[in-house]
Amino acid sequence: MTGAPRASASPLGLQLRPVGASALLAEVPDARSALALYSRLRAQPSAPPSLDGVIDAVPAERTVLVTFDPGRTDAARVRRWLLEAADAAAAAGPAAAGWAAQGSAVAGPTDGPHRVDIRVTYDGPDLDDVARTLGLTVGDLIALHTGTRWTAAFIGFAPGFAYLTGDDAGRLTLPRRSTPRSSVPAGSVALAAGYCGVYPRESPGGWHLIGRTEATLWDAGRPAPALLAPGTAVRFVDTG
């Protein structure tokens, strides 16, 4: 194994970089490609990776980190598995990133474990400021937020905190708050940096709070602890 990234005409612009002897970092050009690649590595968001000996596949903004047990598989096999997944993702085209998109011809908007509706009360302390900053009325902001098809791209910050990307998220992009809050309540629905997120538990936070939900985002005691595993399609529903 060499340290040189795999260049040239790899599908999806994939580059593979070794991370020690038991992990490979798969780098792709953008978030959509990362999700497209990631969603070829598991049968569904809550399923284990489809190659024996692979411990985890961890999506992020432009990468998928794959960790494996060198006693049960080897780097060459994991590389082949990733290249085949990239081939399949590239062949399916950019619209097919994520499980919900792959199955959209047959599944309804809330069918299956990889589509989730989240009921939101839009009364967050930053709602008016966010609307003003984006040049929208509060009504338009809520309509845009509920009308956007969101997808959990990756988890960061805390267990179960999904970074949601949206097909129309460009119009909902604003930087983090200049002063983070020392305490944000669990269930807060928030926007920042082109992403939407829902705080799984009370924590400090620098995102703009636009609403709240009663949904339990994280429960270590249930079989699928994270409501929004990467790849899950999300729709927000206004309870108001």
Partner 1 sequence: MLATGTLTLLQDAGRPGLAHLGVTGSGAADQGSYRAANRLVGNAAGEAVLESVLGGIVLRARGALLVAVTGATGSVVVERSGGRAAVEHPVGCSFTLGDGDVVRVGPPTQGLRTTLAVRGGFAVPPTLGSRSSDVLSGLGPAPLRAGDVLPVGDVAGEWPEATLLPGAIGRRWGRMLAVTPGPRADLVGAAGLPRLLATEWTVSAASNRVGVRLVGPQSAPGSGGHALTLPSEGMIVGAVQLPPSGEPVVFLRDHPVTGGYPVIAVLTPEAVDVAAQLRPGDAVGFEAVHG
Length of the chain (residues): 240
Helix (H, G, I), strand (E, B) or coil at 166: strand
State the minimum distance, in angstroms, from the CB of residue 112 to partner 1.
18
Site string for partner 1, 161-200 (x = CB under 8 A): x---------------------------------------
Helix (H, G, I), strand (E, B) or coil at 106: coil
Sign of the C-alpha dihedral, residues 89, 145, 156, 56? negative
Indicate the helix (H) or strand (E) that contains 189: strand 188-192
Q: How far apart are CA 165 and CA 156, in angstroms?
A: 13
Site string for partner 1, 7-26 (x = CB under 8 A): ----------xxxxxxx-x-
Q: How many helices (H) and strands (E) does the chain have?
A: 5, 13
State the minimum distance, in angstroms, from the CB of residue 31 to partner 1.
8
53-72 residues labelled b (16+ CB within 10 A) or e (exposed)? ebeebbbbeebbbbbbeeee
Candidate segments 62-70, 106-114, 128-136, 172-180, binder of partner 1 by CB under 8 A: 62-70
Site residue total, partner 1 (CB under 8 A): 38
- Among positions 75-134, residues that touch partner 1 (CB under 8 A) are none
Which residue, 59 or 131, is less far from partner 1 as judged by CB? Answer: 59
- Among positions 200-239, residues that touch partner 1 (CB under 8 A) are 220, 225-226, 229-230
Question: Angle 42-214-228 (CA atoms, 0-180°, nearest 5)?
Answer: 10
Which residue, 34 or 131, is less far from partner 1 as judged by CB? Answer: 34
Candidate segments 123-131, 150-158, 177-185, 232-240, binder of partner 1 by CB under 8 A: 150-158
71 binds partner 1 (CB under 8 A): no
Backbone angles phi, psi at 50, to 5 degrees: -80, -5
Residues near partner 1 (CB under 8 A) are 1, 3, 5, 17-23, 25, 27, 48, 55-65, 67, 154-161, 220, 225-226, 229-230
